[in-house]
Amino acid sequence: MTGSHSQSKLGRTALAATRLWLPVVIAVAGLVAILIGHGRPSSTLAAAGVSLIIVALIVWMINWMFRMSVESNRDREREEQARQYFDRHGHWPEEGP
Segment 69-96, tens digit of pLDDT: 888 888 888 888 888 888 888 888 877 6
Q: Residue 94 falls within a domain, yes or no?
A: no
Domain-embedded: residue 45: yes
Let me know if residue 96 belongs to a domain.
no
Q: How much is the pTM?
A: 0.65
Please indicate whether residue 3 or residue 42 has the higher confidence score (pLDDT).
42
Asked whether residue 80 is assigned to any structural domain, the reply reads yes
Instruction: Express each pLDDT in 19-55 by its tens digit.
Output: 889 999 999 999 999 999 987 778 899 999 999 999 9
pLDDT at 2: 55
Residue 97 domain-assigned?
A: no
Question: How many domains, the chain?
Answer: 1
Domain range for 11: 2-89
What angle in degrees, to the nearest 10, is found between the helix axes of 44-89 and 22-36?
A: 160
- Extract long-range pairs of 36-41: CB within 8 Å, 24+ residues apart: none
Residue-wise pLDDT tens digits, 61-71: 999 998 888 88
Residue 48 falls within a domain, yes or no? yes
Position 36 in a domain: yes
